[in-house]
Amino acid sequence: MSEPSSAYINDIGGDVKGIIGDGDIKGIIGDIKGGVVNQYIIAQYSEAEIHSRNLKPGSPYLGLNKFQPGDKDKFFGRERWIIELSNDLEKSNLLLLVGASGSGKSSLVQAGLIPYLSDQWGASQLVTIIFVPDNNPFTSFSDNFPKKYQNKASDFFNSPNNLTLIDVIKRCQ
């Protein structure tokens, strides 16, 4: 790569210079915040090059729908969160995930954490119960509880005030 002419050099703050319009890269910009240099590379492709690319079937974006365990290959970029959640879950056996409505909590658990745990522990070791609590969360939970464990947990579902969720899980082990 040849040295760019001075017309391509932009002052982007402090002593940092950026190259604009050299080769395939149409811009490198950056800024300094508190002594940290942030650099962004902008690549620009021709319309013909974009249209010549093979399309991948399906979109990785589901709109307002949440990602499901079967969408794990579309659900990327959150590996650090998934590993942190898994580590937290292994320490305490309970995970409380709180966030704003629509922020991706369900997707993170269903397409991230559940497939990760299934891969780590083996699918046969993991019992997944997915439900949306309504006005009566215990009924919602009971309606979605796996049939093979119903008898062991019937006391809980018939009188939930006497037992805790931990009691139900211990009975089903």
Do the domain assignments include residue 78?
yes
Q: Are 163 and 155 in contact (CB under 8 A)?
A: yes
pLDDT value at position 139? 78
> Do 73 and 110 reside in the same domain of the chain?
yes
Residue with tokens 């659900």: 75
Do the domain assignments include residue 86?
yes
pLDDT digits (tens, 9 = 90+) for 64-102: 888 898 888 888 888 999 999 999 888 887 787 888 888
Query: What is the rounded CA–CA span in Å between residue 82 and residue 74?
Result: 14
Query: What is the rounded CA–CA span in Å between residue 112 and residue 82?
Result: 6
> Do 117 and 80 reside in the same domain of the chain?
yes
Q: How many domains does the chain have?
A: 3
pLDDT digits (tens, 9 = 90+) for 54-72: 877 777 778 888 889 888 8
For the chain, the 3-state helix, strand and coil shares in percent, each to the nearest 5, are 45, 15, 45
> Do 120 and 82 reside in the same domain of the chain?
yes
Domain span at residue 159? 137-172
Is this structure's pTM higher than 0.85?
A: no
